[in-house]
Amino acid sequence: MSSGVLVTGLGLVAPHGHDADSVFDAIVQGRSAVHELAMDLAKPAAAATVDIDLSRWFNKLQTAGVDRVSQLAVAAADLAVRDAGGLAHAAPERIGIYVGCGMGGASALEAAYRSSNGRVSPLTIPAFMPNAPAAHVAMRLGVRGPVLTYAVACASSSVAIAEAAKAVRCGEVDIAIAGGTEALIVPGVVLTWQAMQTLASFTPGGDAAARCCRPFSADRSGFVLGEGAAFLVLESAERAAARQAPTRHAELAGWGLSCDATHLTKPDAQGQQRALRAALQLAGLTPSDIGYVNAHGTATKAGDTVECEAIRGVWGEDLSGLRVSSTKALHGHLLGAAGALEAVITIQALKRQQLPPQAHCDTPDPLCDVPLARAGEALVRPLDAALSSSFAFGGTNSSLVFKRV
């Protein structure tokens, strides 16, 4: 079985850079983009931030009322479209935009709350509304088809990609620009995550901040926030062939969505397994066909353990042939944009035939008994299919299966 949906464009603006190859190189080499935040906080906090000159896409006048989350989205979507060879071959009404964004424009909201003179910009609402990034991408690219936003916490952009693939497959659109964006590194947001006691702890100094996110490790203490945006251009295999698309990065072979329906913040292995199995079934693959899983792996005590239980339950006797890693250890947790960035990394793993190693896990938790990818590990067989998972607060689970082309 084949979904017939190809990834013909990749674009990202990530903590490691804005070129898919160089970002993947950094991940494979284990280079951390996480650093200590220079903020006035009661407790130290770390995050992975984006360093990019956005003047390529916006002049000073254009940035008025455009939050950073939308600026990053416009940049990443533009890079993806350029990689795909542009949009001149498609009618604007037949192009769709599908964006995941968990929380919207945090910088605009923070500025409004912290206004020193009591004046709030009248552009605050359109700047921080969660659908602003999708709207800005549509305006910049002249897209007049469906322009949709998915706010499903940490699964937002993975869900957006799955929904975009459905639209392509059923013929609702000819081209889908799908991904996610998030830019939450402001004091107010960091404080709220610290209040939940989910962020990684560390003692300031040396490389402690860079190594503080340790998925699957026995001494893990939580995740670190990241920011950025990533987009995929999706189209049918027939259309890509007809227009002689310059790039065919991978096939999005299957996707699976489910809901735990058990708890707002506590994950459930059975719910995650339903998404994993649904993605494999749609792709026409068995667990033994999958060589690599880019795990959700946030480095929380409960989250990592439950995810490993779900993986063991689905792969069973085929577990030994699988390798698993969470690249959040190096680029942080992009929340609403996490699934999109990790989808790009998973696609790169297929293209480059390399496994992103599990960083910062010297002593794995015995309860996280899955085969972790290790630095320098050689492939024992060609990597033909890989899977990326995103599991969210609210209980939504999303898994994407990619095949090498």
Residue of 16, 136, 249, 296 marked active site? 296
Cα 211 from Cα 206, distance rounded (Å): 10
| Helix, strand, coil content of the chain in percent (nearest 5) | 35, 20, 45
Residue of 18, 333, 360, 361 marked active site? 333
For the residues of 289-303, what is the DSSP string, one character each?
G--EEE------HHH
C-alpha separations of 17 from 21, 213, 228, 331 in Å: 10, 19, 10, 10
Q: Are 287 and 310 in contact (CB under 8 A)?
A: no
Torsion of CA 361, 20, 164, 82, to 10 degrees: 170
Cα 391 from Cα 342, distance rounded (Å): 13
Residue of 18, 101, 136, 154 marked active site? 154
Find all residues with CB under 8 Å of 31, minimum gap 6, and list them: 16, 330
Q: Can 154 be counted among the known catalytic residues?
A: yes
Cα 234 from Cα 360, distance rounded (Å): 34
Tell me if residue 221 falls in helix, strand or coil.
coil
Task: Say which DSSP state 333 is in.
Answer: B
Q: Can 296 be counted among the known catalytic residues?
A: yes
Cα 295 from Cα 316, distance rounded (Å): 17
Torsion of CA 358, 359, 362, 365, to 10 degrees: -50
Task: Say which DSSP state 22 is in.
Answer: H
Q: Are 339 and 398 in contact (CB under 8 A)?
A: yes
Among residues 264, 274, 298, which one has the least CA distance to residue 394?
264
Active site residues: 154, 296, 333
